[in-house]
Chain A
Amino acid sequence: MKLVLAIACALCLTLTGTLFAFSQATPGESYAAYADATRNATSCELSSCGCLGLRCSCFDCGK
């Protein structure tokens, strides 16, 4: 079990570092391409409420 826990902690730290490095290294052009691709999508199509995103899906989407 100790080994499993150590692996879980190492995995969590690796994911944390990877996500941070990815966020830091992403070039502005990639964000621009993403913005272009999602320009016509409503915010509700991009993500949902709360922990996945936006308050909008609660009432702005008319649900």
Chain B
Amino acid sequence: MGGFIAFLLSRATGLDVFVLVQAGYLILGLTGFVIVFAGARRDLAGDPRRGRYLLLFLAALPLGLAGARIIPIVQDALLAGRLTFGIVASGGLVFYGGALALLGALRLGCRALGLSPWPLLDAVCRYAPLGHAFGRLGCFFGGCCFGAVTDSPLGIRFPAGSPAYLQHKLAGLLPPNAVASLPVHPSQLYEALGDLALFGLLQYAGNRRDRGLPPGRMTTLYLAGYAVLRFVLEFWRGDTIRGVYYGISTSQYVALAILAGVLVVLLRRRAQAQ
């Protein structure tokens, strides 16, 4: 969709379409990052270790980026039958890969510095859904992560050249003179709304003054909440690039693994408490 909006803006401004698409995607993605960083900074106010926590967060970002790139690199290399510089240097990002790599790096970094990881992880996870919602708007702008074909009134068409259009064309679903994709679920917007709802839930849990959350609980809540959200929303996704195996997508397998991990952690804590 961003390609088309950028095309209209390009006509008005004379700027290059591709530059406008990149700018739109980057601005939305960076907005999400700034929100998470600012929120974590605010939550850590008063903590004497805040400076080290925030430096660690910034230092771990490249690792998160690397984690987000690993799955697309492996998928593209398997499809191409070779691993080239182009495959490594250009390609998409997978949220789950990035998020898990970042959280893992933060935990290891805290351990190396002798810090408790939970204040930082809890602060980051508390604002992650809001930042992610902006990221999903960037996905909608870029046209990636699109939904399954639908006849419902919510269905939208993506213009020629978009990933949805090309996937439908490649599958022979479009006539030769088609100028847009088939109507698809706006799955990026569904997830943006779901992320906002999850953010509201985490805020409610975090602001409860009667009991307060023990260390690590916000991280657990976020991981479990997003896993449920992602598992459900994947049924409305239609992009084959994300990988579907035995009827379930890669992200759904990851979501199930995370839910299982959360369950183990909660059972272990309960056993320790008793």
Contact = CB atoms under 8 A, between A and B. Distances in A.
A51 B157 contact: no
A25 B93 CA distance: 30
Contacts, number: 150
Given A16-B189, A51-B138, A59 B166 contact: no
A13 B72 CA distance: 30
B53 interface: no
A30 B11 CA distance: 12
Contacts of A45: 18
Interface in B130-164: 130, 133-134, 137-145, 156-157, 159-163
Contacts of A32: 179
Taking residues whose C-beta sits less than 8 angstroms from the other chain, chain A's interface range is 35 or more
A47 B18 contact: yes
Contacts of A3: none
A59 B80 contact: yes
Contact of A23 (B85, B137, B156, B200): B156
Contacts of A16: 137, 189, 192-193
Nearest to B158: A23
B140 A13 contact: no
Contacts of B264: none
Given A47-B161, A59-B80, A24 B144 contact: no
A19 B4 CA distance: 12
A22 B235 CA distance: 24
Contacts of A13: 193, 196
Contacts of B79: 55, 59
A37 B16 CA distance: 13
Interface in A8-30: 8-9, 12-13, 15-16, 19-20, 22-24, 26, 28, 30
Interface of A: 1, 4-5, 8-9, 12-13, 15-16, 19-20, 22-24, 26, 28, 30-32, 34-35, 37-39, 41, 43, 45-55, 57-59, 61-63
